[in-house]
Amino acid sequence: MSAPRINIVGSINLDLVASAEKLPAPGETVTGASYAQYPGGKGANQALAARRLGAEVAMVGRVGRDANAEAALALLKADGVDLSGVVEDEEEPTGVALIGVDKAGENQIIVASGANGVLSASDVARAGAADAVLCQLEVPVPAVMEAAKIETPLFAINLAPAMPVPAGLLERADLLIVNEVEAEFYDDALHRGEGLVALTLGRQGSVLYRSGKEVARMPVYAVPVIDTTGAGDTFCGALVVGLAEGMEEGAALRFASAAAALAVTKEGAQPAIPTRKDVEAFLSDKA
Nearest to 268 by CA among 15, 28, 84: 15
Distance CA 257, CA 259 (A): 5
- Domains of the chain listed by start with CATH number: 7-13+42-93+119-286 (3.40.1190.20)
3-state secondary structure of 25: coil
Q: Which residues of 218-246 are buried (b: 16+ CB within 10 A; e: fewer)?
A: bebbeeeebbbbbbbbbbbbbbbbbbbbe
Checking if the pLDDT of 287 tops 90, the result is: no
Distance CA 8, CA 6 (A): 6
Mean pLDDT of 254-271: 94
Across the chain, mean pLDDT equals: 95
Percent of the chain with pLDDT over 70: 100
3-state secondary structure of 253: helix
- What number of other Cβ atoms are within 10 A of residue 53's Cβ? 29
- What number of other Cβ atoms are within 10 A of residue 141's Cβ? 15
pLDDT of residue 286: 82
pLDDT of residue 1: 62
- Which of the pair, 218 or 105, is modelled with greater confidence? 218
Cα atoms found within 13 Å of the Cα of residue 143, Cβ hemisphere only? 25
Mean pLDDT of 164-172: 96
Nearest to 158 by CA among 67, 49, 78, 58: 49
pLDDT of residue 228: 86
Active site residues: 233
Distance CA 74, CA 47 (A): 13
Percent of the chain with pLDDT over 90: 90
Mean pLDDT of 191-210: 95
Distance CA 60, CA 74 (A): 15
Residues in the chain: 287
Confidence of residue 19 (pLDDT cuts 50, 70, 90): very high
Q: What is the pLDDT of residues 95-134, one digit of tens each?
A: 998 999 898 888 898 989 999 999 999 999 999 999 999 9
